[in-house]
Structure 1
C-alpha cells in the first residue's frame, strides 16, 4: 500500500519536515514492513514540452523510432529520439533535459542513438516513478493540464517533489490497505492525533431507494457471501469527465492510473478508507438488484473483456429485467461486468458499497485467476460498518465534480453485517505469554487505543472494532499489546537444551548424506513440494503407476501445481530448468526431502475442536489419515562432470555418475548395495537405468533420463539422475553392525582377471561370484575395464577385475594367491557362465 505523505497528513498529524523514511521507521515499530519510498528523488531540469513535429524512422530490428522536434520554452527546439508511438503533433509531454536525475539515480545526458543526438528524453509514467505503465509517454492534455506551457516546471506539476511511503500489508492487516489504516498505525506508533476520514454524517436509508435483494441460497460454511448492500443513485453526472488534478495525482502516487470521474472517485475512496466501491451505469440496470450464487453454466464477460464460465460458489450481483431472465452484472467483490460499466454515454450512476465474505471473494479470485484491488481488500476483511460511509464519500465527490445539475437519489441499505468478535481474556494473560509485566491499565489502554471496547477487572471482556476482523481469540489481543508496548522491549532468550539428548540416528544420517553429496561436488537445493499432473505425463508414467496417485491440496498456492509431489525428481527438475535457462548448463544439484504417497484408502481426518486438546481417539484418526511420507534423496547431473582445461578434454556426465552418487549415499550410511539393470522404470532410459537394492529390497533407481522425458521437460540432452529412499537406507543402517578389522602389516598380492560373459549378465553378478569364490584372503575387487569388440564374440563382453589379496598373519605365497584367484574364477564360471579370456 502506497500512502503519499501529503494525503497521510490529512488523517494524522505529521510534524513539519517529516520524511517518508522517518514515517516508514515509525510504522515498522508497530509491525508494518517497509516496502519502499517513492518520490522526492527527481531533480531537474524536468519541463513541459510541446511536440512541434516528428519523423517516424523504421529500424533494421523491426522497431520504429520517432525523431522529434520538441519546444521546451527555449529559443531553439530540441531534437529528441523517442521509441513510443502514442503521442501526436502539438501534444504536451514531459521532457527530461540533460543533467536531470530520474528515480533510481538514472542521470540523463545528451547521447547519440539511432543516427541522431538525442538532447533529452520524453518520459513515461514508469520512468518518473508514477506507476507501472510503460506502454507510452505521458500526455499532459489527457491528464487535464490545459493551462501549462512549454518550459514550465514538471516536477511540481506532477507532484514529483512529494514523497510516498509504501508498506507491505500482511494478510491479518487488511485495514492497512488504505491511507486511513496507515494513518491509524502511525498514530499508534507515535501518539500523533488521528483524524478519521470516515467520521461523517450519513443519510438514513428509505424504502424508496433502488431495490436490492440479498438471496444467497448456498452460503459457504454457513456464512452468507454478502451480508450488507448499500446503493446510492446519482443522476445527471458527467461520469466520464476527467477527475480533478489533485485526485489524479494522488491516484498516481498510490500506483493507480486515472481513467474517468466515476472510476477515479471509487478508486480514491477505496484508497482513502479501505472500502471498495463499484459504479454501474444506472440506465443499464433493472430493479431489483439481486445478490445470489451462480447457476450452472452461467457466463459473464468481465470488464477485462474475458468471458468467464461461472461456478456455483461464485457470488453474483444480478438484476431482473422485466420479461427476461436474470442478468449477471458483476462478480461480487472482484470485478464488474461489461454490460453495465460506466461508458461515454453514462449520465446516471448507481454506486455500490457492499460487505462481502472474505472466503467467498478469495475463492472466486483464485478460481478465475483474477486478482483485483477490490478483491485484495475483501479477502483480508473490510470494515463491516463502513459501506454507507464509503458510498456517501463517493456521492459527495460526484456531486462536487460531476457538474451543476447533479441529483442525488434516496439511500438503499439492506442486510445486517455480522458483529465483530467478543473475546474474554485474563488481564495478566499478555504478561504470561510475552514474558513482560504489563499492568491491567496498560493492557486496557492499548486495546482501547486500537478501537476495542473493554470491560471487566481481572477477566476482561473485549469487543473488537469493526475494522479488525483478524481479532478472534485472546492471543490476537496479546499481539496487539506486545506491538504497541514495543517489540524492542521483549527480551530474547534461548531455550535451554535438556541434557543427555542429541541428534537421532535418522538426523545424523541425513546430515551425513547431505555432507557427502556436497563433498561429491553437488549443490543442495530446496524446492516447493507442489507439482502439477503434467509432470507425470512428461515422465512417461504408465496409467497404473502408483506415482500418479497424488494428494490434491484443498487450497493450493497455484492452480497449476495443486498436488503434493510423489517423487523428488518431479520438483528437482524445475530447479534444473531454472538454472539452465540462466546459462548454468554444467550442474550437479541434489535435494533431501519427503514425498507424499497416498493410497487412496486413507480414512477421513475429521475436524477436532480447537477449544481444547484433541482426544486420543481424534489424534489416532488424524494420524491414520496422513499418507506415508518417506524421506528421499535425489540428484541430477547435466553438462560436463569434469570441466575441460588445458591439460584434459573434460568429460560429460553419464549414467555411471548417477549410479556412483546413489551408491555413495548407501555407503555413507554403511550399507552395501546391489546394482542391477532395470529395463523399464520411467523416467529413466530403459537401457541405462540401474536398480538399487539392499538384501533384495529396492531402495532407488539411477541412470540416464529417457530422451523423450528430457525433451518434454526442456532439460539438456543426456541428463542423468538418481533418487533413493532414505527411509529404507536408515532402517538397514540401524540393523547393520560395524566390525573393526585389524590393519595388516603384510604385503598385498595383486591379481587381475578378464572374464568373458554374455551381454545380459550384470557385472555386479560377476563381482559377487568372485567375492564368494575368493574366500577370506580377498581384500578388494574392482571392475576396471569393459571391452566388447573383436576378437570378443558378438553378444558377449569382457570384464576385467582387479583382485587384491592379503593375509592378516603372514606373507602370501604365489601358490596361495593363484589358488584364491582360480577359486574366484571358477565360482564366477559356475554362477554366471564366465570364461577367462585368453
Structure 2
C-alpha cells in the first residue's frame, strides 16, 4: 500500500520538513512494515520527449532494438544545445508522435542510477526512455511509459517536449510503500495508515481527521432494488451482509477526472482511466472500501447477489471468460444476467464507457473467505480482492458511497437520485470483559489502568467502566468496526504494547530452568541405535507404507496378526495403501535399492513405529470445532487408533568381514543377526535367552532364533530369511535379518541395574559335554545349567555341537565351558566339581541330558 506524504498530511498532522524515511520509521514503530520509498530521489533532467522517428533492427538474439530520434525541447541548452537527441531503446510499445519520459545524461534515477551518454548496440544513446519501474512510478517493465496512455489525451493536451516530467508525474514528492499484514486490512488505505502514523506520534487530540466522517442520508424505499439471495453460505457465514447502492444521473462522459486526482492515482501506482473509474479507485485508496460503478442504462432495474450455478460463465473486465464455481458469489442483474464476481472483478457487459451518463455506485461488504477463495480459484488478484480478503470495515460502505457520489457530482455534473439503498445484515461487535491488568501481565510492563483505558479509546474502542459484570479491574471493551482482529485479552494486550512502543519493553534474558534430561525411553532408543551402529549397521529411515501383496511375499500365515494392517483413506501412493506392521517390511526395500545400485555388502537398521490394530479398525468419529471433545468422544477417537509399538530391525547381506592379505573374508550369516540383538540387550543390561524357532515367517525354519526375556516375554526374532521370501523380494541369497520390540526392552531396563561386585580371585574353568535329544534347544540346556550351578557361576559358554556316529542317531552332544568365581576366596577343586555336578544334575532333570 502506497501513501504520498501530501495525502497523509490531509488526514493527520505531519511535522514540517519531515522526510519519507522518518514517516516510514514512525510506522515501523507501531508495527507497520516498510516496503519501499518512492520519489524524491530523482534528479533531473527528467523531461517529456516526443518520438519523431525510429529505426528498428532485430539483433542476433532475436531482440528488436529501436534507434530513436526524440524531441526533448529546449531543456538544458548546454546539455542538448536544443537539438533532437538520438536514444537507443529496447521497448516496442510506442509509435512515432508519442510523448514519452526521457532522462538525459546527468540525471539520476532511483537507487542512485546515474545516466550518461554511452555507446550501446553500435550507436551512442544520449539518455534513456523510461519505463514505470525505472522511475519508481510502478512495477511495470513490459514497456516504456507512453504519456497519452498513462495520463489520457485530455491531460497531455498542454504538455510539450522539454516539460519537467518530475513535476508532471509527482515524482518529486516522496511516497511511502508499506507491507500490510493480513490482520491489518484497515491499513490498506491512506485512512488506516494515517491513523497508525497518528498513533506513532502519541495520538494527540485533534491530530487525526477521519475522511469517512461524512454526512450520509438514511436509506429509503425508493433506492435501487437490491436482493441478497445467498442460499449456500460458506461455513454458515453469508457472502454479503451489506450492500449500499447510490445512483447519479446526467454525468458528462467527456469530463476527465481532475489533475490532482490523476496525480494521486499515478503516485499510488494506478493508471487514470475515466472519471467514474478514477473516483471509485480514489475513494478505495483513501478509505479502504472497494467500490464498483455500473452503467445504469445497461441494467434491468434490480441487483441480485447470489451464488453461481453449475455451468455459468462470466467474461470479466480483463476480457477473460471464466467458468464459475458454485461457491463463487456473484452480482447479477435481476438474478439472471451476470455482472461481476463479488469483491474480485466486474464483468465486461456492464462496465462504464465513454457514453455512460447514468452511474450506479456499488459499495458492499463481502465475506473475506468467500472473496479469497474466488480470487485464488480464478487466479485473479485485484485491488478489491486484496482488501476484502483481509477484512473491510462493514460500517464504511455508506460513507464510501457518499464520498464517491460527491466527487462524481462535483467533477462530472449530474444529479443524485433521492433513493438510497442500504441492505444491512451486519451484526454488531460484542463487548469483551477485559482485565485491565492483563496487558501488563502478558507484556511484562507495568501499564497503569488509566493508560490502558486511554490507549483503548484512541484505538477507537468503546470502553464501559461501569455496568453489569464490571468492577475496578474489569471493563467492557467493544472494538471498532474496522478491527475484526481484536477478539480477546491477548489481542488488546498487543495493542497496548504497540501503541505504548515496543522499544519501551525491557529486554530481559530469561533464566532457564534446570532441565530434566532425556527420558528413560529416549535413553533406550539412543543406546539401541548406537549398539546397532557398533554392530556394523547404517541407520536409515523408510516410509511406513506397504503394498497389499507384501504379506504374501513375506509368507505370513493366514492367521498371523501381522496381516491385519491399517488401510489409509488417502494414501500417498495407491501401490502402498497400508501401514506397516513390521519394520522389516519396509527395511527390505532399502536393502534391495542399495544392492541394485551396486552395493553388495550392506547392513542397514531402523528404529520406528509399527501399526498393529489386532483386528478390524474402528471408524474414527469427526469431532466438531466448536469446543473440546467430551470424554466419550475422546474414548471413541482413541479406540480407533491402532497400537503403535516401537520396533527395531536390521537386514544385511554380503560380507561381514572383508577379504585381504590378512585372510579370506566371511559372509554374513544368521549368527550375526542374533549377535546384533544380543549386543543391544547387553548394552541395556537386559539378559535374554536365545532359542530356535522353526515357525516364524519370514525366517528360514532351521536358521531362526527366538529372543526372549528370562521370564519368557518375547523380544524378537533373528536369523536368515526364507529362500522363497528372498526370491519374492528380489534380495540376495542368504540375506539375514532381525526385528525386536524396543518397548519390551525399555520396560525390562526400567529398573536400576545392581552392579555385580568385582572379584579379584582367579576364575575356575571346567568343561562338560552333555548328550541330549536332537530336538532339545541348547537354550533350555543352558538355562538348566545356570539354575543348578549356584550363585558362584560367572559364565556359561557353548563351544561345541556334535552330531554323528559317536553319539547315535537322534542325539547331539553339547559341550559347555562353565566359569566359576567366588567374591571372597579362591574356589577349591572339590567345590568346582560339586558345582559342576549340581549343574549337570539340573540339566538331566530338566531335559534328560546325560554327561559324556
TM-score under structure 2 length normalisation: 0.63
Q: Kindly tell me: are residues 693 and 496 of structure 1, through their superposed partners in 2, closer, same or farther at Cα, counting changes over 3 Å?
A: farther
**In 1, distance between residues paired with 2:98 and 2:301?**
45
Which of 453, 468, 481 is residue 444 of structure 1 equivalent to?
Answer: 453
Partners of 1:232 and 1:412 within 8 A in 2? yes
Cα-to-partner distance string for 1:384-442 (whole Å, 9 max, x where unaligned): 1111111111122222222x456556322222322123111122222332232222211
Partners of 1:214 and 1:292 within 8 A in 2? yes
Q: Kindly tell me: are residues 615 and 284 of structure 1, through their superposed partners in 2, closer, same or farther at Cα, counting changes over 3 Å?
A: same
Segments of structure 1 that go 5 or more residues without pairing to the other structure are 516-528, 530-535, 537-544, 553-565, 568-591, 633-662, 698-727, 741-774, 778-838
**In 2, distance between residues paired with 1:462 and 1:226?**
26
Cα-to-partner distance string for 1:713-732 (whole Å, 9 max, x where unaligned): xxxxxxxxxxxxxxx99998
Q: How far 1:688 sits from its partner (Å)?
A: 10
Partner residue of 1:85?
Answer: 92
Which of 383, 408, 426 is residue 398 of structure 1 equivalent to?
Answer: 408
Cα-to-partner distance string for 1:231-274 (whole Å, 9 max, x where unaligned): 11122334576433322222232232333222221111111001
**In 2, distance between residues paired with 1:182 and 1:5?**
11
Which of 120, 125, 128 is residue 118 of structure 1 equivalent to?
Answer: 125
**SS of residue in 2 equivalent to 1:10:** helix
Which of 143, 161, 175 is residue 136 of structure 1 equivalent to?
Answer: 143
Partner residue of 2:624?
Answer: 607
Which of 324, 336, 340 is residue 326 of structure 1 equivalent to?
Answer: 336
Matches within 5 A, 1:448-463: 448-456=457-465, 458=472, 459-463=474-478
Q: Is 2:410 the counterpart of 1:369?
A: no
Matches within 5 A, 1:185-264: 185-191=196-202, 192=204, 193-239=207-253, 242-264=256-278
Q: How many residues align?
A: 613
Partner residue of 2:668?
Answer: none
Q: How far 1:301 sits from its partner (Å)?
A: 2.1
Partner residue of 2:194?
Answer: 183
Across the aligned residues of Structure 1 and Structure 2, the Cα RMSD in angstroms comes to 4.6
Which of 354, 365, 369 is residue 364 of structure 2 equivalent to?
Answer: 354
Q: How far 1:97 sits from its partner (Å)?
A: 1.1
**In 1, distance between residues paired with 2:213 and 2:734?**
73
Q: Kindly tell me: are residues 393 and 601 of structure 1, through their superposed partners in 2, closer, same or farther at Cα, counting changes over 3 Å?
A: farther
Q: Is 2:7 the counterpart of 1:7?
A: yes
**SS of residue in 1 equivalent to 2:327:** coil
**In 2, distance between residues paired with 1:347 and 1:208?**
20
Cα-to-partner distance string for 1:637-657 (whole Å, 9 max, x where unaligned): xxxxxxxxxxxxxxxxxxxxx
In our comparison, the structure showing a higher alpha carbon Rg is 2
Q: Kindly tell me: are residues 506 and 54 of structure 1, through their superposed partners in 2, closer, same or farther at Cα, counting changes over 3 Å?
A: farther
**In 2, distance between residues paired with 1:26 and 1:178?**
17
**SS of residue in 2 equivalent to 1:81:** strand
Cα-to-partner distance string for 1:275-295 (whole Å, 9 max, x where unaligned): 111111212111211112222
Segments of structure 2 that go 5 or more residues without pairing to the other structure are 74-79, 467-471, 531-542, 548-564, 573-578, 581-606, 648-675, 685-715, 756-796, 800-852
Q: How far 1:6 sits from its partner (Å)?
A: 1.2
Partners of 1:674 and 1:692 within 8 A in 2? no
**In 2, distance between residues paired with 1:21 and 1:491?**
26
**SS of residue in 2 equivalent to 1:695:** strand
Partners of 1:131 and 1:257 within 8 A in 2? no
**In 2, distance between residues paired with 1:593 and 1:98?**
69
Partner residue of 1:488?
Answer: 503
**In 2, distance between residues paired with 1:98 and 1:593?**
69
Cα-to-partner distance string for 1:604-658 (whole Å, 9 max, x where unaligned): 3413545xx76555655666788999999xxxxxxxxxxxxxxxxxxxxxxxxxx
Which of 304, 308, 313 is residue 327 of structure 2 equivalent to?
Answer: 313
Q: How far 1:493 sits from its partner (Å)?
A: 4.0
Q: Kindly tell me: are residues 149 and 306 of structure 1, through their superposed partners in 2, closer, same or farther at Cα, counting changes over 3 Å?
A: closer
Moved more, 497-506 or 222-231: 497-506
Q: Kindly tell me: are residues 621 and 319 of structure 1, through their superposed partners in 2, closer, same or farther at Cα, counting changes over 3 Å?
A: farther
Q: How far 1:313 sits from its partner (Å)?
A: 2.6
**SS of residue in 2 equivalent to 1:380:** coil
**SS of residue in 1 equivalent to 2:148:** coil
Q: Kindly tell me: are residues 175 and 695 of structure 1, through their superposed partners in 2, closer, same or farther at Cα, counting changes over 3 Å?
A: same
TM-score under structure 1 length normalisation: 0.64
**SS of residue in 2 equivalent to 1:364:** helix
